[in-house]
Chains A and B, each alone.
Chain A
């Protein structure tokens, strides 16, 4: 059977599984809809958290980005795992003990203020929507490449599936589908990685294969060969980065504390029975995430080696068919600058901007590109996102592996989309409607409101997936900066600083958020021509500025809280109480 038929079968089977789980795990109360009744086993929650966390960006894009960034890819590897240490040690157990449904719940209660709750809701919605648009786009790309379905229809099918299990099952349905999705995605990630590791080095474990000797008789290690090959072609060595140390430091820190401040991740720890379970669950989540994150650098390095081997100096007419099929959907472009009929791969952009194609084809069948070519010797444009998806084809693996990768990419995108939709809908139905505008709403009506807001959120997310802003992909990375600068400090201080009060928390969140937003907006949208190390403050790029935003948040919150009214006694009692594991609440039905 060919890869496309197999992909249809795999996608059909996995979607059937997800929907089956959704029907089995319907939610019947707000407690089940918001936090799965608080009865999820820590290992199951660890898997669900891992799937929730690992999005289309982790599965599809990350290894590809690392393969082009080399050492600089460290920012994602450390940033998106190290955050779990902070989450496990500084936030998860205490927020579980607090025992409510949402992140704004904690902020609203701890800072005894509806205004603080609403600021948290706004931050949450801004963060979650920027993030979710990227997921729906990922679904669309997988559908269009592997199933030949237009991106729009791909997004619609994805929306329909998420609708089934998020709206019916709420957190309960999402949790158990995420467990299944984790199994699908990790299997789909490891199988090609192990195959390729064996092909290149003879070592089955990719984590060790990355350091092993290449089987081509050169006696070089994978990284040694990659360094040498890249330097030959005029690139910097793979194991050395181009970013400045201070920027790598700032971006890593922003991603770490941003991770710890992401509402859809935090809320997963509300679903386990006890405080000690929240700690264990964080450990399992990080373990399950680390399996993918320690494989990714190997996948990235192998992909770059294979890519150069199969493409560089190859005649276009003889190059492998994957090159042409990705060229057909516009993610690869080739301009034969020296007219030798061969593809030359070197540093720099081959032409200005992203490729735009005319309807014509050249004599050899390649697509004509209308962008003005640049003066360097590089002839190939390659979209970084395709490396993981194209990897099995580049390495000529069997069709079922290619089909598996497609199913894995969909699992990663759908599980994250569902988790994000849930926090958006709960913050609307619970924090805005129930806690702010209609305080005597019955549980049944609140549940209906939660389902309706989930449905509306899915439609909005789908819209962004079909009609993306030009800058959606960039904005996703900034969701972390915003979370780092707004929610994380407020949560941390709420637990560790007894004297932190309403005025301090709100002014901290607003200053951190405003500073980060303005810095990003200035360099990305208002003056993009100044977006380089020379003009950045302290040499920190917009990607890393969230760490400074967080520092500003902490400083402002601390100063203001010491100048304003002290915290009331019942809130002090609340803080004392969440610091002690004993006496955990069942998440109550209102």
Chain B
């Protein structure tokens, strides 16, 4: 299978999606929740300091969304490149 162009293109599409989602993952947790927390804390958000909210609530919601987005988009990419496992048992 080495050198299969379709599979290589599929892999690149997969890695690109992954890197975009991981960038968001990093931004909301390490970015908003840790590195920028003091600066964000000057803003109020539904009774929370905004940085504190990202650290103890917001980032976790985004994590859940990221995994479902990954699942949905990968399903489309799988089909586009004809490597979907839908026909498997």
Enumerate B26-65 residues with CB–CB distance to A below 8 Å. Answer: 29-30, 33-35, 37, 41, 45-49, 52-53, 55-57, 59-61, 63-64
Q: How many B residues face the partner with a CB closer than 8 A? A: 49
Chain A neighbourhood of B60, CB < 8 A: 77-78, 81, 290, 293-294
Proximity string of chain A (262-294) to chain B, C-beta cutoff 8 Å, 1 when within and 0 when not: 000000000001111001101100110010011
Contact A581 B84 (CB under 8 A): yes
Q: Which of B11, B29, B41, B68 contacts A78 (CB 8 A)?
A: B29
Q: How many A-B residue pairs have CB under 8 A?
A: 151
The answer, yes or no, to whether B75 is at the interface (CB within 8 Å) is yes
With contact pairs A573-B1, A584-B88 given, residues A279 and B71 touching in the complex (Cβ less than 8 Å): yes
CB pair A245 B71 closer than 8 Å = no
Given contacts A71-B55, A239-B49, contact A85 B83 (CB under 8 A): no
Assembled-state Cα–Cα distance A582/B64 (Å): 25
Tell me the minimal C-beta distance from B85 to chain A in angstroms. 4
Q: Which of A547-590 contact B (CB under 8 A)?
A: 569, 572-573, 576-577, 579-584, 586
User: Beta-carbon contacts of A167-211 to B below 8 Å, as 1s and 0s?
Assistant: 000000000000000000000000000000000000000011011
A248 touches which of B34, B48, B83 (Cβ 8 Å): B34
Tell me whether A88 and B70 are in contact in the complex, defined as CB-CB below 8 angstroms, given that A82-B25, A297-B57, A583-B88 are known contacts: yes
B28 to chain A, nearest CB (A): 9
Interface of B is mostly: helix
- Number of chain A residues whose Cβ lies closer than 8 Å to a Cβ of chain B: 56
- B29 in contact with A82 (CB, 8 Å): yes
- Interface membership of A366, Cβ < 8 A: no
Q: A-facing mask of B5-23, CB < 8 A → 1, else 0?
A: 0010011001000100110
Residue of A74, A273, A576, A577 with highest tally of chain B CB at under 10 A: A74
A568 CB, nearest partner CB in chain B, Å = 12
In the complex, per-residue mask of B73-89: 1 if CB is within 8 Å of any chain A CB, else 0: 01100100011111111
Q: Does A523 contact B (CB under 8 A)?
A: no
B34 CB → nearest A CB, Å: 5
- The answer to whether A146 has its CB under 8 Å from any CB of chain B is no
Chain B residues within 8 Å of A211, by CB: 45-48, 53
A297 in contact with B85 given A248-B34, A580-B7, A581-B78 (CB within 8 Å): no
Q: Which of A276, A580, A582 contacts B71, CB < 8 Å?
A: A276
Alpha-carbon gap, A253 to B31, bound state (A): 12
Q: Can you identify 21 A-B contacts, CB atoms within 8 angstroms?
A: A73-B56, A85-B25, A85-B67, A86-B22, A86-B25, A89-B22, A221-B48, A248-B34, A249-B34, A252-B30, A252-B34, A276-B84, A279-B70, A286-B64, A294-B57, A294-B61, A569-B2, A580-B83, A581-B83, A582-B78, A582-B85
Interface residues of B (CB under 8 A from A): 1-2, 4, 7, 10-11, 14, 18, 21-22, 25, 29-30, 33-35, 37, 41, 45-49, 52-53, 55-57, 59-61, 63-64, 66-68, 70-71, 74-75, 78, 82-89
